[in-house]
Amino acid sequence: MKLNDDEKRMLQGEEGESIRKSMELLVDIGNAFQAKNMIDISYAHIMCVEADEALSKLFFEFTDGAKVKVPTGTMPLMPNPKYLEDMNVPGEVTKDLAEAAHHIVQQRSKIGAMCTYSCFPYYAYPVRFGEHVAWTETQVVPFINSWYGARTNLQSIISAVASAVTGKTANYGLHLKENRFATGVIEVDKDLHPENFDSADYGAMSYWAGKARVEYEPIIPVYTGLSVKNTTYSKVKNMCSPNVWNSGMPMFHIAGITPEAFTVEEALGGKQPKAVEKFGIRELKETYEELCTADERKVEVVSVGCPHCTMEELKEIVGLLEGKKIKRNTQLWIGTNNAYLKLLEKTNIIETIKNSGALLITEGCHGAMPITILKPRIIATNSPLTANIVKIMTKNNVKVWFGTLENCINCAIKGVWEGN
């Protein structure tokens, strides 16, 4: 792989050992994928999960004495310990998680990363179409590739850090235009009335589409038949993780909506699709049934905001909670970020949520770890990601109801599931 003079200096250790290790890792990755060169990136986004000793040590090796060379955001803490007491997490567990979170925050601050702590960090990044970035995580990567048309591969925990401290990444995969074209078509049946889709419907559709294969190879889908007016960024964000979880493909297109798919033909790059799949009433119903593992109606925890709620979603939640209270012995967790919280200080949104008895959580991931610690019998969520993680991490011991945001809020108010 061809390196320029700056990249050679980093690889030779002239900027320190941690930078040398970082560049060495990026070069090895580039060689593995037959990249011809390295490219400059404008942003990086890194994980916050190095609570165990091995990952923490590895992070230190790649960042010791280094500072990030590009603006670098951070994923949520796992979880934010300041809310654990309100979630009824045991005190000894809270103490351990608080120490781990403090260590992670110190590490991020030391290298100069921005304290975004969000899985919906786009408010902090003025990303442009075609811009090269280096991001990690199954939620943020598909959104920035698909909705904005910026370019990144699905980086690992450490390769994203290596890109942050070098300002470089290998030029392969989705950084190259020829690899970004759709390879299959998902036709959404008009009988589903996609103009009325809730965010959960978008998530269920993506979860199903992630299973589409051509000779065992997953496709990059282009969706047709979705409503331009209804397909907002708040709803599209719910399509990101489900597709990656089932396919590993960190990108999709929506005909007439996403910037590389003004038409189906453009999304396909003028080629014929390798597969054409129809998503109709039966497919939607079967996906909801797969994600719903509960049969009892009484719910202990309702979790929304995984990925973090947008302003649009918070406004919808407030409309559903106005003048109402969360049912006793039922918890409602609403995840968002601190930037939105600051903007909402002088509105009635925060007050309405708190007066209802719901817990508004910022900077943390509440979709998995607290649930796996508390092990409630039954939860409800509008997130396919939460539904899938809880199912896997608890070995299906925690049962899940999956449905719309309205289903979930009404469940928190009544204490029982009435959706679907």
Residue-wise pLDDT for 205-242, tens only, equals 999 999 999 888 999 999 999 999 999 999 999 999 99
Fold match between domain 5-177 and domain 293-414: yes
CB 298 within 8 A of CB 416: yes
* Beta carbons of 222 and 182 less than 8 angstroms apart: yes
One-letter amino acid for residue 275 of the chain: A
Instruction: Identify the bridge partners of residue 132 per DSSP, sorted by sequence position.
Output: 151
* Ramachandran region, residue 90 (left: φ > 0; alpha: ψ -120 to 50; beta: rest): beta
DSSP string, 4-70: -HHHHHHHTTTT-HHHHHHHHHHHHHHHHTT--BEEE-S-EEE---TTSHHHHHHHHHHHTT---SS
The answer to whether the beta carbons of residues 389 and 49 sit under 8 Å apart is: no
Distance CA 130, CA 113 (A): 23
Q: How far apart are CA 107 and CA 22, in angstroms?
A: 16
Q: Which residue has the tokens 């998530």?
A: 203
For residue 125, the model assigns a pLDDT of 81
The pTM assigned to this predicted structure is: 0.95
What pLDDT, on a 0 to 100 scale, did the predictor assign at position 26? 98
Fold of 5-177: Aconitase; domain 3 (3.30.499)
Q: CB of 415 within 8 A of CB of 329?
A: yes
Torsion of CA 314, 319, 325, 330, to 10 degrees: -50
Which of helix, strand or coil describes residue 391? helix
Half-sphere exposure of 201 (CA within 13 A, CB side): 21
Backbone angles phi, psi at 358, to 5 degrees: -75, 160
* Cβ atoms within 10 Å of 358's Cβ, excluding its own: 23
The tens digit of pLDDT for each residue in 4-24 reads 999 999 999 999 999 999 999
Given a contact cutoff of 8 angstroms between Cβ atoms, the answer to whether 167 and 42 are in contact is: no
Would you write out the chain's pLDDT as a tens digit for each of its 420 residues? 999 999 999 999 999 999 999 999 999 999 999 999 999 999 999 998 765 678 888 899 999 999 999 999 999 988 888 898 899 888 888 888 888 888 889 999 999 999 899 999 988 888 999 999 999 999 999 999 999 999 999 999 999 999 999 999 999 999 999 999 999 999 999 999 999 999 999 999 999 999 999 888 999 999 999 999 999 999 999 999 999 988 999 999 999 999 999 999 999 999 999 999 999 999 999 999 999 999 999 999 999 999 999 999 999 999 999 999 999 999 999 999 988 888 888 888 999 999 999 999 999 988 777 888 888 999 999 999 999 989 998 999 999 999 999 999 999 999 999 987
Write down the domain spans for the chain: 5-177, 181-289, 293-414
The CA distance from 94 to 96, in Å, is 6
222 close to 185: Cβ distance less than 8 angstroms: yes
The answer to whether residues 166 and 23 touch, using CB atoms and an 8 Å cutoff, is yes
Distance CA 241, CA 210 (A): 10
Beta carbons of 401 and 411 less than 8 angstroms apart? yes
Residues whose CB is less than 8 angstroms from the CB of residue 332 and which lie 6 or more positions away in sequence, other chains included: 302, 304, 326, 356, 357, 358, 359, 409, 412
List the structure tokens of 212: 């589409």
Query: What secondary structure, in 3-state letters, does 309-352 show?
Result: CCHHHHHHHHHHHCCCCCCCCCEEEEEECHHHHHHCCCCCHHHH
184 contacts: CB under 8 Å, gap ≥ 6: 212, 214, 219, 220, 221, 222, 273, 274, 275, 276, 277
pLDDT in tens, 256-297: 999 999 999 999 999 999 999 999 999 999 999 999 999 999
- Neighbouring C-alpha atoms within 13 Å toward the C-beta of 257: 21
293-414: CATH, from 3.90.45.10, 3.30.300.30, 3.40.50.720, 3.30.499.10: 3.30.499.10
